[in-house]
Amino acid sequence: MPVVKSDEIKMEEVSMEGADRIIKSNVIGPSEGWKDYTLRVFRIGPGGYSPHHQHDWEHINYVMKGRGTLTIKDDTKEIKEGDFAFVPPNTIHQFKNPFDEEFEFICIVPNRGA
């Protein structure tokens, strides 16, 4: 049974157009035995954001630390530690951190989106 210790996660900068102050790690996926999905951890620093984008797979999210916003289409909601979110496929969305603390969340996607 794979166990990934939180202090051993290796985070990498997200270097996509439209992203700023965001790092991520693919924590559990095919190499740990989960053949169809990948659990990723994202950290967005104060003032940071993900690209405003869409793709053909869904996201399942859980906020682990801090707070931020999630925009799906034209609807923006604040999300905070302990909240869950679902981003449907083929839907424009963006995560932002307009606050002064780090915003960290889990994002589960099908492997074609990892």
| Catalytic center residues | 107
Q: What type of residue is 102?
A: E
Question: What contacts 19, CB < 8 A, 6 or more positions away?
Answer: 48, 49, 50, 51
Query: What's the CA gap between 107 and 112, in Å, rounded?
Result: 14
